[in-house]
Amino acid sequence: MNDSDQHTRPDTAPTSQIWGGRFNSGPDQVMDAINPSIDFDRRFYAQDIAGSRAHAAMLVAAGIISAADGAAIDQGLAEIADEIANGSFVFSRALEDIHMNVEARLREKIGDAAGRLHTGRSRNDQVATDFRLWVRGAIDAIDGQLRDLQAAFIEQAERHYATVMPGFTHLQTAQPVTFGHHMLAYVEMFGRDRGRFADARRRLNQSPLGAAALAGTSFPIDRDSTAAALGFDGPAINSLDAVSDRDFVIEFLAAAALTSVHLSRLAEELIIWTSAQFNYVRLPDGFTTGSSIMPQKRNADAAELVRGKTGRVIGALNALLVVVKGLPLAFNKDMQEDKEPLFDAADTLSVCLAASIGMINGLTVNAPAMRASLAAGFPTATDLADWLVRALNMPFRDAHHVTGSLVKMAEDRGVDLADLSLADMQSVAPAITEAVFAVLSVDASVASRTSFGGTAPELVRAAAAAARARYMAST
Protein backbone atom coordinates (compact mmCIF):
# COMPACT_ATOMS: atom_id res chain seq x y z
CA MET A 1 0.00 0.00 0.00
CA ASN A 2 1.22 3.49 -0.79
CA ASP A 3 2.32 5.55 2.20
CA SER A 4 -0.21 8.22 1.44
CA ASP A 5 -3.00 5.73 2.02
CA GLN A 6 -1.99 5.13 5.64
CA HIS A 7 -3.66 6.87 8.56
CA THR A 8 -1.88 9.00 11.13
CA ARG A 9 -2.94 9.13 14.77
CA PRO A 10 -3.20 12.58 16.42
CA ASP A 11 -0.06 13.54 18.32
CA THR A 12 -1.40 12.73 21.75
CA ALA A 13 0.72 9.78 22.86
CA PRO A 14 2.81 10.65 25.95
CA THR A 15 6.51 11.09 25.34
CA SER A 16 7.26 8.99 28.43
CA GLN A 17 6.28 5.88 26.47
CA ILE A 18 9.48 6.27 24.48
CA TRP A 19 12.15 8.03 26.49
CA GLY A 20 10.41 10.47 28.83
CA GLY A 21 11.54 8.98 32.15
CA ARG A 22 14.77 10.95 32.02
CA PHE A 23 13.12 14.35 31.44
CA ASN A 24 10.98 16.75 33.45
CA SER A 25 9.18 18.16 30.42
CA GLY A 26 8.34 17.23 26.87
CA PRO A 27 10.18 18.33 23.74
CA ASP A 28 9.96 21.79 22.28
CA GLN A 29 7.18 22.23 19.75
CA VAL A 30 9.65 22.47 16.87
CA MET A 31 10.70 18.90 17.63
CA ASP A 32 7.25 17.79 16.51
CA ALA A 33 8.23 18.94 13.04
CA ILE A 34 11.87 17.88 12.88
CA ASN A 35 12.03 14.73 14.98
CA PRO A 36 9.41 12.19 13.79
CA SER A 37 10.32 9.81 10.99
CA ILE A 38 7.08 7.85 10.86
CA ASP A 39 5.92 9.74 7.77
CA PHE A 40 8.55 7.90 5.74
CA ASP A 41 9.95 5.00 7.79
CA ARG A 42 6.52 3.35 7.89
CA ARG A 43 7.74 1.74 4.68
CA PHE A 44 9.83 -0.49 6.93
CA TYR A 45 6.81 -2.02 8.63
CA ALA A 46 7.15 -5.50 7.12
CA GLN A 47 10.89 -5.61 7.84
CA ASP A 48 10.41 -4.20 11.34
CA ILE A 49 7.79 -6.80 12.22
CA ALA A 50 9.84 -9.62 10.70
CA GLY A 51 12.84 -8.56 12.79
CA SER A 52 10.74 -8.32 15.93
CA ARG A 53 9.23 -11.77 15.42
CA ALA A 54 12.68 -13.29 14.93
CA HIS A 55 13.96 -11.47 18.02
CA ALA A 56 11.02 -12.64 20.13
CA ALA A 57 11.48 -16.26 19.01
CA MET A 58 15.16 -16.05 19.96
CA LEU A 59 14.33 -14.57 23.39
CA VAL A 60 12.04 -17.53 24.05
CA ALA A 61 14.61 -20.08 22.86
CA ALA A 62 17.27 -18.46 25.05
CA GLY A 63 15.00 -18.55 28.10
CA ILE A 64 14.97 -14.77 28.41
CA ILE A 65 11.19 -14.43 28.10
CA SER A 66 8.48 -17.02 28.62
CA ALA A 67 6.97 -19.08 25.84
CA ALA A 68 3.56 -17.61 26.66
CA ASP A 69 4.83 -14.04 26.27
CA GLY A 70 6.63 -15.03 23.08
CA ALA A 71 3.48 -16.53 21.60
CA ALA A 72 1.44 -13.45 22.50
CA ILE A 73 4.07 -11.17 20.96
CA ASP A 74 4.24 -13.21 17.77
CA GLN A 75 0.47 -13.33 17.34
CA GLY A 76 0.13 -9.62 18.09
CA LEU A 77 2.82 -8.70 15.59
CA ALA A 78 1.19 -10.83 12.89
CA GLU A 79 -2.11 -9.06 13.49
CA ILE A 80 -0.41 -5.65 13.34
CA ALA A 81 1.19 -6.55 10.01
CA ASP A 82 -2.28 -7.33 8.66
CA GLU A 83 -3.66 -4.04 10.02
CA ILE A 84 -0.93 -2.02 8.30
CA ALA A 85 -1.32 -3.97 5.07
CA ASN A 86 -5.08 -3.42 4.92
CA GLY A 87 -4.85 0.26 5.90
CA SER A 88 -6.65 0.09 9.25
CA PHE A 89 -3.54 0.81 11.35
CA VAL A 90 -3.42 4.36 12.74
CA PHE A 91 0.07 5.86 12.90
CA SER A 92 1.11 8.45 15.50
CA ARG A 93 3.76 11.10 14.84
CA ALA A 94 4.18 11.48 18.61
CA LEU A 95 5.55 7.95 18.67
CA GLU A 96 8.26 9.12 16.27
CA ASP A 97 8.97 6.05 14.17
CA ILE A 98 7.74 2.71 12.91
CA HIS A 99 9.38 0.85 15.80
CA MET A 100 7.50 2.67 18.54
CA ASN A 101 4.25 2.75 16.60
CA VAL A 102 4.34 -1.02 16.30
CA GLU A 103 5.38 -1.50 19.92
CA ALA A 104 2.66 0.84 21.22
CA ARG A 105 0.01 -0.99 19.22
CA LEU A 106 1.37 -4.30 20.46
CA ARG A 107 0.95 -3.10 24.06
CA GLU A 108 -2.64 -2.14 23.29
CA LYS A 109 -3.26 -5.65 22.00
CA ILE A 110 -1.42 -7.88 24.48
CA GLY A 111 -0.63 -5.70 27.49
CA ASP A 112 2.62 -5.72 29.50
CA ALA A 113 4.08 -8.67 27.61
CA ALA A 114 4.75 -6.25 24.76
CA GLY A 115 7.29 -4.46 26.91
CA ARG A 116 9.46 -7.59 27.00
CA LEU A 117 10.01 -7.52 23.23
CA HIS A 118 12.68 -4.83 23.44
CA THR A 119 14.85 -6.88 25.80
CA GLY A 120 18.40 -7.16 24.48
CA ARG A 121 18.01 -4.73 21.62
CA SER A 122 17.81 -1.00 20.86
CA ARG A 123 16.14 1.10 18.23
CA ASN A 124 19.68 1.55 16.90
CA ASP A 125 20.19 -2.09 15.92
CA GLN A 126 16.50 -2.40 15.12
CA VAL A 127 16.54 0.32 12.45
CA ALA A 128 19.86 -0.93 11.08
CA THR A 129 18.32 -4.39 10.68
CA ASP A 130 15.14 -3.07 9.10
CA PHE A 131 17.15 -0.92 6.74
CA ARG A 132 19.35 -3.78 5.57
CA LEU A 133 16.33 -5.99 5.00
CA TRP A 134 14.63 -3.25 2.99
CA VAL A 135 17.69 -2.48 0.86
CA ARG A 136 18.22 -6.19 0.26
CA GLY A 137 14.68 -6.49 -1.04
CA ALA A 138 15.11 -3.39 -3.19
CA ILE A 139 18.27 -4.83 -4.73
CA ASP A 140 16.46 -8.07 -5.55
CA ALA A 141 13.61 -6.16 -7.20
CA ILE A 142 15.97 -3.95 -9.23
CA ASP A 143 18.01 -6.95 -10.31
CA GLY A 144 14.84 -8.48 -11.72
CA GLN A 145 14.11 -5.30 -13.67
CA LEU A 146 17.67 -5.10 -14.98
CA ARG A 147 17.40 -8.70 -16.10
CA ASP A 148 14.17 -7.89 -17.95
CA LEU A 149 15.87 -4.91 -19.61
CA GLN A 150 18.76 -7.10 -20.73
CA ALA A 151 16.27 -9.60 -22.12
CA ALA A 152 14.66 -6.84 -24.18
CA PHE A 153 18.04 -5.85 -25.63
CA ILE A 154 18.95 -9.46 -26.39
CA GLU A 155 15.67 -9.98 -28.25
CA GLN A 156 16.35 -6.89 -30.36
CA ALA A 157 19.90 -8.11 -31.01
CA GLU A 158 18.65 -11.52 -32.13
CA ARG A 159 16.18 -9.86 -34.46
CA HIS A 160 18.66 -7.36 -35.91
CA TYR A 161 21.98 -9.18 -35.82
CA ALA A 162 22.59 -8.24 -39.47
CA THR A 163 20.80 -4.86 -39.64
CA VAL A 164 23.47 -2.31 -40.55
CA MET A 165 23.67 1.18 -39.11
CA PRO A 166 26.34 3.81 -38.59
CA GLY A 167 28.53 3.45 -35.56
CA PHE A 168 29.36 6.85 -34.12
CA THR A 169 32.23 8.55 -32.37
CA HIS A 170 31.81 12.21 -31.44
CA LEU A 171 28.26 11.69 -32.77
CA GLN A 172 29.74 11.54 -36.27
CA THR A 173 29.66 8.54 -38.58
CA ALA A 174 32.66 6.35 -37.81
CA GLN A 175 32.27 2.78 -39.08
CA PRO A 176 29.35 0.53 -39.99
CA VAL A 177 28.06 -1.70 -37.19
CA THR A 178 24.94 -3.77 -36.78
CA PHE A 179 22.01 -2.67 -34.67
CA GLY A 180 22.22 -5.99 -32.86
CA HIS A 181 25.81 -5.22 -31.90
CA HIS A 182 24.70 -1.85 -30.55
CA MET A 183 21.97 -3.49 -28.48
CA LEU A 184 24.42 -5.98 -26.99
CA ALA A 185 26.63 -3.12 -25.80
CA TYR A 186 23.81 -2.17 -23.44
CA VAL A 187 23.47 -5.78 -22.29
CA GLU A 188 27.06 -5.62 -21.04
CA MET A 189 26.58 -2.18 -19.54
CA PHE A 190 23.58 -3.23 -17.49
CA GLY A 191 25.25 -6.53 -16.68
CA ARG A 192 27.93 -4.57 -14.85
CA ASP A 193 25.19 -2.74 -12.99
CA ARG A 194 23.73 -6.05 -11.88
CA GLY A 195 27.16 -7.08 -10.69
CA ARG A 196 27.53 -3.94 -8.60
CA PHE A 197 24.16 -4.45 -6.94
CA ALA A 198 24.97 -8.11 -6.30
CA ASP A 199 28.29 -7.13 -4.77
CA ALA A 200 26.58 -4.58 -2.53
CA ARG A 201 24.03 -7.21 -1.50
CA ARG A 202 26.74 -9.63 -0.43
CA ARG A 203 28.35 -7.02 1.78
CA LEU A 204 25.15 -5.80 3.41
CA ASN A 205 23.91 -9.26 4.31
CA GLN A 206 25.17 -9.20 7.90
CA SER A 207 22.67 -8.84 10.73
CA PRO A 208 22.99 -5.90 13.17
CA LEU A 209 20.24 -7.32 15.40
CA GLY A 210 21.50 -7.83 18.94
CA ALA A 211 24.21 -5.17 18.70
CA ALA A 212 21.77 -3.15 20.83
CA ALA A 213 22.55 0.56 21.25
CA LEU A 214 26.25 0.25 20.43
CA ALA A 215 27.97 -2.12 22.87
CA GLY A 216 25.99 -5.35 22.68
CA THR A 217 23.92 -6.63 25.59
CA SER A 218 24.39 -8.54 28.86
CA PHE A 219 21.48 -10.85 28.03
CA PRO A 220 22.44 -14.31 26.68
CA ILE A 221 21.04 -13.68 23.22
CA ASP A 222 21.75 -15.81 20.16
CA ARG A 223 22.60 -13.49 17.29
CA ASP A 224 23.34 -16.36 14.94
CA SER A 225 19.77 -17.62 15.22
CA THR A 226 18.17 -14.25 14.47
CA ALA A 227 20.56 -13.71 11.56
CA ALA A 228 19.60 -17.08 10.10
CA ALA A 229 15.89 -16.49 10.66
CA LEU A 230 16.10 -13.23 8.69
CA GLY A 231 18.13 -14.66 5.82
CA PHE A 232 21.41 -12.99 6.72
CA ASP A 233 24.72 -14.74 6.19
CA GLY A 234 25.59 -14.13 9.83
CA PRO A 235 25.67 -11.45 12.53
CA ALA A 236 27.65 -8.24 12.04
CA ILE A 237 30.96 -8.72 13.81
CA ASN A 238 31.39 -5.43 15.67
CA SER A 239 28.50 -3.90 17.60
CA LEU A 240 29.71 -0.32 17.12
CA ASP A 241 30.03 -0.78 13.39
CA ALA A 242 26.75 -2.67 13.18
CA VAL A 243 24.66 0.31 14.34
CA SER A 244 26.69 3.09 12.72
CA ASP A 245 27.35 1.57 9.28
CA ARG A 246 25.48 3.08 6.37
CA ASP A 247 27.93 1.97 3.72
CA PHE A 248 25.33 -0.44 2.39
CA VAL A 249 22.96 2.46 1.68
CA ILE A 250 25.71 4.47 0.00
CA GLU A 251 26.74 1.46 -2.08
CA PHE A 252 23.14 0.96 -3.15
CA LEU A 253 22.88 4.62 -4.13
CA ALA A 254 26.21 4.53 -5.94
CA ALA A 255 25.08 1.53 -7.97
CA ALA A 256 21.71 3.18 -8.54
CA ALA A 257 23.36 6.43 -9.68
CA LEU A 258 25.56 4.65 -12.21
CA THR A 259 22.63 2.58 -13.45
CA SER A 260 20.66 5.80 -13.87
CA VAL A 261 23.53 7.31 -15.85
CA HIS A 262 23.42 4.29 -18.14
CA LEU A 263 19.66 4.65 -18.54
CA SER A 264 20.21 8.31 -19.37
CA ARG A 265 22.73 7.44 -22.08
CA LEU A 266 20.22 5.01 -23.56
CA ALA A 267 17.47 7.63 -23.33
CA GLU A 268 19.66 10.16 -25.13
CA GLU A 269 20.20 7.75 -28.01
CA LEU A 270 16.50 7.00 -28.23
CA ILE A 271 15.75 10.71 -28.34
CA ILE A 272 18.26 11.21 -31.14
CA TRP A 273 17.20 8.11 -33.07
CA THR A 274 13.49 9.01 -32.96
CA SER A 275 14.07 12.52 -34.30
CA ALA A 276 12.98 13.25 -37.87
CA GLN A 277 16.60 13.92 -38.74
CA PHE A 278 17.57 10.32 -37.91
CA ASN A 279 14.30 8.34 -38.00
CA TYR A 280 16.15 5.17 -37.01
CA VAL A 281 13.57 3.84 -34.57
CA ARG A 282 9.99 4.40 -33.49
CA LEU A 283 8.89 4.18 -29.87
CA PRO A 284 5.58 2.59 -28.88
CA ASP A 285 2.70 5.07 -28.72
CA GLY A 286 2.35 4.46 -25.00
CA PHE A 287 5.77 5.99 -24.34
CA THR A 288 5.37 9.13 -26.43
CA THR A 289 3.23 12.26 -26.18
CA GLY A 290 1.92 14.93 -28.53
CA SER A 291 2.07 18.70 -28.46
CA SER A 292 -0.65 21.06 -27.29
CA ILE A 293 -0.05 23.31 -30.29
CA MET A 294 1.84 21.32 -32.95
CA PRO A 295 -0.27 18.39 -34.16
CA GLN A 296 2.60 16.74 -36.02
CA LYS A 297 4.72 16.24 -32.91
CA ARG A 298 5.47 12.82 -31.43
CA ASN A 299 7.70 13.49 -28.47
CA ALA A 300 9.91 10.89 -26.80
CA ASP A 301 8.79 12.07 -23.38
CA ALA A 302 9.41 8.78 -21.57
CA ALA A 303 13.04 8.84 -22.67
CA GLU A 304 13.37 12.51 -21.76
CA LEU A 305 11.98 11.86 -18.28
CA VAL A 306 14.36 8.95 -17.77
CA ARG A 307 17.20 11.26 -18.76
CA GLY A 308 15.95 14.02 -16.45
CA LYS A 309 15.31 11.83 -13.41
CA THR A 310 18.94 10.72 -13.35
CA GLY A 311 19.77 13.91 -11.46
CA ARG A 312 17.51 12.89 -8.58
CA VAL A 313 19.34 9.61 -8.09
CA ILE A 314 22.77 11.23 -8.31
CA GLY A 315 21.54 13.86 -5.85
CA ALA A 316 20.45 11.19 -3.38
CA LEU A 317 23.94 9.70 -3.39
CA ASN A 318 25.51 13.10 -2.83
CA ALA A 319 23.05 13.88 -0.04
CA LEU A 320 23.89 10.77 1.95
CA LEU A 321 27.63 11.14 1.44
CA VAL A 322 27.35 14.61 2.94
CA VAL A 323 25.27 13.33 5.86
CA VAL A 324 27.72 10.58 6.76
CA LYS A 325 31.04 12.32 6.13
CA GLY A 326 31.36 13.93 9.58
CA LEU A 327 29.64 11.41 11.84
CA PRO A 328 31.56 9.95 14.78
CA LEU A 329 30.74 6.43 15.95
CA ALA A 330 28.22 5.16 16.74
CA PHE A 331 24.58 6.11 16.04
CA ASN A 332 23.72 9.77 15.47
CA LYS A 333 20.32 11.28 14.78
CA ASP A 334 21.66 12.60 11.48
CA MET A 335 21.17 9.05 10.23
CA GLN A 336 17.45 9.69 10.12
CA GLU A 337 18.24 11.64 6.94
CA ASP A 338 19.41 8.46 5.20
CA LYS A 339 15.97 7.10 4.38
CA GLU A 340 14.15 9.67 2.28
CA PRO A 341 16.93 9.98 -0.33
CA LEU A 342 17.14 6.20 -0.53
CA PHE A 343 13.40 5.71 -0.92
CA ASP A 344 13.18 8.40 -3.58
CA ALA A 345 16.18 7.02 -5.47
CA ALA A 346 14.87 3.45 -5.36
CA ASP A 347 11.42 4.53 -6.53
CA THR A 348 12.88 6.72 -9.27
CA LEU A 349 15.23 4.04 -10.55
CA SER A 350 12.44 1.46 -10.57
CA VAL A 351 10.08 3.59 -12.65
CA CYS A 352 12.89 4.55 -15.04
CA LEU A 353 13.75 0.89 -15.51
CA ALA A 354 10.10 0.06 -16.16
CA ALA A 355 9.89 2.81 -18.78
CA SER A 356 13.13 1.68 -20.43
CA ILE A 357 11.99 -1.94 -20.57
CA GLY A 358 8.75 -0.85 -22.22
CA MET A 359 10.53 1.32 -24.77
CA ILE A 360 13.05 -1.34 -25.81
CA ASN A 361 10.48 -4.14 -25.92
CA GLY A 362 8.24 -2.07 -28.19
CA LEU A 363 10.96 -0.49 -30.31
CA THR A 364 10.42 -0.60 -34.09
CA VAL A 365 13.58 -0.37 -36.18
CA ASN A 366 13.68 1.52 -39.49
CA ALA A 367 16.38 -0.54 -41.19
CA PRO A 368 16.19 1.30 -44.54
CA ALA A 369 16.79 4.65 -42.84
CA MET A 370 19.78 3.26 -40.99
CA ARG A 371 21.28 1.87 -44.19
CA ALA A 372 20.56 5.05 -46.14
CA SER A 373 22.40 7.18 -43.59
CA LEU A 374 25.54 5.13 -44.22
CA ALA A 375 25.79 6.84 -47.61
CA ALA A 376 27.22 9.87 -45.82
CA GLY A 377 30.30 10.25 -43.69
CA PHE A 378 32.59 7.79 -45.53
CA PRO A 379 32.00 4.92 -43.06
CA THR A 380 34.27 2.49 -44.96
CA ALA A 381 37.36 4.74 -44.89
CA THR A 382 39.01 2.56 -42.26
CA ASP A 383 38.35 -0.51 -44.42
CA LEU A 384 40.22 1.20 -47.25
CA ALA A 385 43.16 1.96 -44.96
CA ASP A 386 43.19 -1.63 -43.68
CA TRP A 387 43.17 -2.94 -47.27
CA LEU A 388 46.17 -0.80 -48.15
CA VAL A 389 48.03 -2.35 -45.22
CA ARG A 390 47.02 -5.93 -46.06
CA ALA A 391 47.21 -5.85 -49.84
CA LEU A 392 50.06 -3.40 -50.45
CA ASN A 393 52.04 -3.94 -47.22
CA MET A 394 51.80 -0.20 -46.63
CA PRO A 395 52.58 1.07 -43.09
CA PHE A 396 49.32 1.97 -41.41
CA ARG A 397 50.24 5.63 -40.94
CA ASP A 398 50.96 5.92 -44.65
CA ALA A 399 47.72 4.11 -45.42
CA HIS A 400 45.89 6.52 -43.13
CA HIS A 401 47.35 9.48 -45.07
CA VAL A 402 46.47 7.98 -48.47
CA THR A 403 42.93 7.26 -47.33
CA GLY A 404 42.57 10.79 -46.00
CA SER A 405 43.59 12.17 -49.39
CA LEU A 406 41.03 9.95 -51.15
CA VAL A 407 38.31 10.97 -48.68
CA LYS A 408 39.04 14.62 -49.46
CA MET A 409 38.86 13.90 -53.18
CA ALA A 410 35.49 12.18 -52.78
CA GLU A 411 34.23 14.92 -50.50
CA ASP A 412 35.21 17.64 -52.99
CA ARG A 413 33.34 15.78 -55.73
CA GLY A 414 30.32 15.02 -53.57
CA VAL A 415 30.59 11.25 -53.98
CA ASP A 416 31.34 8.23 -51.80
CA LEU A 417 34.69 6.44 -51.79
CA ALA A 418 33.25 3.57 -53.80
CA ASP A 419 32.23 6.05 -56.51
CA LEU A 420 35.80 7.09 -57.23
CA SER A 421 37.37 5.43 -60.27
CA LEU A 422 40.38 3.20 -60.09
CA ALA A 423 42.32 5.90 -61.92
CA ASP A 424 41.31 8.43 -59.29
CA MET A 425 42.65 6.16 -56.57
CA GLN A 426 45.83 5.37 -58.45
CA SER A 427 46.51 9.06 -58.81
CA VAL A 428 47.11 9.06 -55.05
CA ALA A 429 48.53 5.53 -54.64
CA PRO A 430 49.54 3.93 -58.00
CA ALA A 431 49.71 0.38 -56.53
CA ILE A 432 45.96 0.27 -55.77
CA THR A 433 44.14 -2.40 -57.78
CA GLU A 434 40.55 -3.15 -58.71
CA ALA A 435 40.37 -5.47 -55.69
CA VAL A 436 40.00 -2.46 -53.40
CA PHE A 437 36.34 -2.02 -54.34
CA ALA A 438 35.43 -5.32 -52.66
CA VAL A 439 36.07 -3.81 -49.21
CA LEU A 440 34.25 -0.53 -49.74
CA SER A 441 30.67 -1.76 -49.30
CA VAL A 442 28.91 -1.44 -45.96
CA ASP A 443 28.05 -5.14 -45.83
CA ALA A 444 31.61 -6.18 -46.57
CA SER A 445 32.78 -3.83 -43.84
CA VAL A 446 30.63 -5.30 -41.08
CA ALA A 447 31.27 -8.86 -42.27
CA SER A 448 35.01 -8.28 -41.98
CA ARG A 449 34.89 -7.31 -38.29
CA THR A 450 35.47 -10.85 -37.06
CA SER A 451 37.80 -10.16 -34.14
CA PHE A 452 36.46 -11.24 -30.76
CA GLY A 453 33.69 -8.85 -29.69
CA GLY A 454 33.33 -7.48 -33.22
CA THR A 455 30.25 -6.51 -35.18
CA ALA A 456 30.28 -9.21 -37.88
CA PRO A 457 26.68 -10.51 -38.06
CA GLU A 458 27.55 -14.12 -37.26
CA LEU A 459 29.52 -12.97 -34.23
CA VAL A 460 26.60 -10.82 -33.12
CA ARG A 461 24.19 -13.74 -33.40
CA ALA A 462 26.55 -15.93 -31.36
CA ALA A 463 27.11 -13.14 -28.83
CA ALA A 464 23.36 -12.74 -28.35
CA ALA A 465 23.02 -16.44 -27.64
CA ALA A 466 25.94 -16.31 -25.22
CA ALA A 467 24.45 -13.28 -23.45
CA ARG A 468 21.14 -15.06 -23.07
CA ALA A 469 22.88 -18.05 -21.51
CA ARG A 470 25.05 -15.88 -19.26
CA TYR A 471 22.51 -13.38 -17.98
CA MET A 472 19.08 -14.97 -18.29
CA ALA A 473 20.02 -18.12 -16.39
CA SER A 474 20.87 -16.14 -13.25
CA THR A 475 18.26 -15.47 -10.60
Sign, CA dihedral 78-83-86-91, equals: negative
CB atoms within 10 A of CB 34: 10
Region label for 102, one of left (φ > 0), alpha (ψ between -120 and 50) or beta (otherwise): alpha
CB atoms within 10 A of CB 419: 11
Told to judge if 170 belongs to the known catalytic residues of this protein, a careful annotator would answer yes
Q: Which residue in 384, 382, 398 sits closest to 438, CA to CA?
A: 384
Candidate list 4, 25, 170, 218, residue with the active-site label: 170
Beta-carbon contacts of residue 70 (< 8 Å; ≥ 6 apart)? 56, 57, 59, 60
Q: Which of 244, 220, 278 is nearest to 61 (CA)?
A: 220
Q: Which of 16, 66, 88, 291 is catalytic?
A: 291
CA 164 to chain centre: 30
Our CA angle for 283, 288, 292, nearest 5°, is 145
Distance CA 7, CA 45 (A): 14
Cα 80 to Cα 49, 88, 103, 163: the distances in Å are 8, 9, 10, 57
Catalytic residues: 170, 291
